[in-house]
């Protein structure tokens, strides 16, 4: 039986959690698929390095600039360019059997001609559709299009599924498939590698708290800066960058807080790193600081697979990953004092830390592996 050709679609060229998930999926199906991107960048480079066929079809700037907080008038003004792009990519859609939209924007761009050419359209929803993340108009447009055009809607957590349903989404179309992480990237790291990396960063004799995330206000990195004065023996590393222009102001504010609190020697902003496995392994604890409910929490699973204790904000999809006290610790959202208490529990009790790490690792391997994710896709979505 001839394998069906899959067109994976994503609108950005930068690498975020949704793109890392798509990378793992498209790599498995690379022999009979292509990835269509609407922006060039490091994501295209990562895909091509792994022999995945990529098509880059640049969007106009005003379409790319539509963000979750955009005013509805601005959204309406870009409709002509969206229609123009939709017509220009119709031949690409026609050459494939299955269209897999990995983002909301890509769904909007491929929906019409996927239906017109009678293609199976799959939408992978990586975001919680709520007011904190998206405008009312955005939520309704995405929900209506998904309901009318998609055969399957993949959600990365029950929390994400509930947000889709709350906006009128068709529950019968949703399939819960947790993101998968490849543990091999952590397993191949030797103790000598960890020692060398600590020396390179000048952190050989310090307790290291890691915060791995895109720099953005809702990601809550400021909470760790607020907590550090109460953790005098700890140094913090921040791995991530501001992906979009509006987040640069927040990044600058984090640097100001660092200076104001006299933390320059104890805070290291390392920027975006394509390979975070080794940096995770040098940490004594990893914190997940989001102040708005996360749809999933990829970094949490990565920390578990890196065998580093993880502490996270107690809301959203995070609660589906961490069992408090067993596979990690949860703190009150936005409460830096509560976070300090949880960090101290881990750093001051070696036996407890060891138990948490072992439980978390076994749970992550069982529930959140790439192989498990692919198997679920084969059984529930692609059927081949």
Are 232 and 154 in a shared domain?
Answer: no
User: By the 8 A CB rule, do 299 and 238 touch?
Assistant: no
* pLDDT for position 67: 53
- Write the CB contacts of 233 (distance below 8 Å, at least 6 apart in sequence): 206, 207
CA dist 59 and 39 (Å) reads 7
User: By the 8 A CB rule, do 70 and 135 touch?
Assistant: yes
* Mean pLDDT (whole number) for 322-326: 97
Number of domains observed in the structure of the chain: 2
* Residue 192: strand, helix, or coil: helix
User: Is residue 373 predicted with pLDDT exceeding 50?
Assistant: yes
Per-residue pLDDT reduced to its tens digit, 181-206: 999 999 999 999 999 999 999 999 89
Average pLDDT taken over every residue of the chain: 93
Confidence of residue 134 (pLDDT cuts 50, 70, 90): confident
Are 175 and 195 in a shared domain?
Answer: no
Are 114 and 237 in a shared domain?
Answer: no
Question: Between 73 and 238, whose confidence is greater?
Answer: 238
Weakest mean pLDDT among 59-63, 103-107, 283-287: 59-63
* pLDDT for position 38: 95
* pLDDT for position 149: 98
Confidence of residue 74 (pLDDT cuts 50, 70, 90): very low
Per-residue pLDDT reduced to its tens digit, 326-341: 999 999 999 999 999 9
Four-residue CA torsion sign, 364, 13, 122, 76: positive
Confidence of residue 73 (pLDDT cuts 50, 70, 90): very low
Are 205 and 326 in a shared domain?
Answer: yes
Are 120 and 197 in a shared domain?
Answer: no
Are 144 and 244 in a shared domain?
Answer: no
User: By the 8 A CB rule, do 33 and 5 touch?
Assistant: yes
Beta strand ranges found along the chain (DSSP E):
6-10, 33-37, 54-56, 98-101, 120-125, 152-155, 174-176, 207-212, 234-239, 267-271, 285-288, 310-313, 329-331
pTM of the model: 0.91
Are 215 and 316 in a shared domain?
Answer: yes
Confidence of residue 47 (pLDDT cuts 50, 70, 90): very high
- DSSP annotation of 128 reads -
Instruction: Tell me whether strands 174-176 and 285-288 are parallel, antiparallel or unpaired.
Output: unpaired
């Amino acid at each position: 039986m001839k394998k069906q050709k899959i067109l994976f679609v994503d609108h950005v060229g930068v690498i975020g959690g949704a793109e890392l998930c798509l990378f793992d999926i498209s790599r498995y199906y690379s022999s009979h698929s292509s990835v269509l991107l609407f922006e060039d960048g490091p994501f295209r480079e990562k895909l091509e390095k792994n022999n995945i066929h990529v098509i880059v079809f640049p969007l106009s700037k005003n379409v790319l600039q539509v963000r979750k907080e955009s005013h509805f008038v601005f959204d309406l003004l870009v409709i002509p360019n969206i229609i123009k792009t939709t017509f220009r990519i119709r031949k690409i859609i026609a050459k494939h059997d299955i269209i897999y939209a990995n983002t909301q924007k890509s769904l909007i761009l491929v929906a019409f001609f996927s239906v017109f050419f009678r293609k199976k359209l799959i939408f992978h929803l990586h975001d919680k559709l709520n007011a904190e993340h998206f405008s009312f108009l955005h939520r309704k447009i995405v929900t209506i299009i998904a309901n009318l055009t998609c055969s399957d809607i993949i959600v990365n957590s029950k929390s994400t599924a509930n947000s889709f349903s709350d906006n009128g989404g068709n529950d019968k179309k949703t399939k819960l498939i947790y993101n998968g992480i490849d543990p091999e990237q952590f397993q191949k790291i030797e103790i000598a590698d960890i020692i060398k990396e600590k020396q390179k960063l000048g952190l050989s004799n310090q307790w290291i708290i890691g915060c791995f995330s895109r720099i953005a206000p809702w990601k809550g990195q400021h909470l760790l800066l607020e907590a550090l004065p109460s953790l005098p023996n700890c140094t913090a590393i921040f791995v991530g960058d501001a992906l979009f222009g509006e987040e640069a102001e927040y990044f600058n504010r984090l640097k100001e807080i660092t200076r104001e609190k006299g933390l320059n020697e104890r805070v290291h902003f390392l920027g975006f790193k394509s390979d975070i496995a080794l940096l995770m392994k040098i940490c004594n604890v990893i914190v997940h600081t989001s102040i708005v409910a996360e749809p999933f929490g990829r970094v949490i699973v990565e920390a578990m697979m890196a065998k580093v204790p993880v502490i996270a904000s107690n809301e959203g999809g995070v609660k589906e990953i961490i069992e408090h006290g067993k596979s990690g610790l949860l703190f009150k959202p936005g409460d830096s004092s509560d976070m300090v208490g949880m960090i101290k529990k881990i750093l001051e009790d070696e036996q407890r830390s060891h138990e948490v790490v072992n439980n978390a690792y076994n749970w992550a391997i069982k529930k959140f592996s790439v192989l498990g994710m692919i198997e679920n896709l084969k059984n529930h979505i692609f059927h081949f």
